[in-house]
A and B are shown apart, each in its own frame.
Chain A
Amino acid sequence: MRELGGVAAAAYALLLLWELRRFRAGESAFDAFHAMIADPLVFAATLVLFALVLVHAVTWFMLVGKAQPVAITRKPMPWKRAFGINVALWLVVSGAVLFLFYGGI
């Protein structure tokens, strides 16, 4: 499941690349692309990709603390604390992306 999340990320990256290509082709091409991904079947498939990527991200945050004890402190940090720090960082980074590129919440 977690490894499929990585593949889902690549699949969505190809979708982002396709969107970029359609954007470069002009407004009507861009709108046609968005009409295509709004199709219920395509939209459902992308929601599955989203769920897989979320699982992949959360399990990655868990693994970071488990697989490689954080070396900021002298003693290895408990993985739950490392996970909490990663999730907090994730929220901050996500907020920054929303603020910088999407005009905030």
Chain B
Amino acid sequence: MVWGLFSLGGFITAFLLPVVMFVSLAAVPSGLWPADRIGFDAYATRFADPLFRIFLFVLIGGSLFHGMHRLRHILLDTRLRRADPLLIVVCYGIAALGSLVALYYTILADWFGIRVPFL
């Protein structure tokens, strides 16, 4: 299952993440786009679209699982093999928790009325 999420996350990271980063990190700072296209009102307009919410959740969750799996294996290659049980908990814990928080903000809170007090 983790391998499947990693693999799917690789697809998402490669195909979807660069264009989102391009908008925030290149198009606006270089003056190609006006700053208000990444401002609060523009974000709110995008966020009203259910497809954007699903896109954002998939993007965050996929990138987290892909990256944290990579991080675990980088650390395993640096002689931390004995710490693997801890790495599994920390790396996949961050990915799972981050994905759940993204799911809460994008879908659960508004569509299902679920409220988590500390979020």
Contacts and interface: CB of A to CB of B under 8 A. Distances in A.
B15 A90 contact: yes
A20 B106 contact: yes
Interface of B: 10, 13-26, 29, 37-40, 43-44, 46-47, 49, 51-52, 55-56, 59-61, 63-64, 66-71, 73-74, 95, 98, 101-102, 105-106, 109, 119
Nearest to A94: B19
A57 interface: yes
Interface of A: 3-4, 6-14, 16-17, 20-21, 23-24, 27, 30-31, 34, 43, 46-47, 49-50, 53-54, 56-57, 60-61, 89-90, 93-94, 97-98, 100-103
Contacts of A10: 63-64, 66-68, 70-71, 95
Contacts of B40: 23, 27, 30-31
Contacts of A46: 21, 24-25
A17 B60 CA distance: 7
A4 B37 CA distance: 30
Interface centre among B10, B40, B55 (most CB of A within 10 A): B40
Contacts of A93: 15-16, 19
B98 to A, nearest CB: 6
A100 B16 CA distance: 13
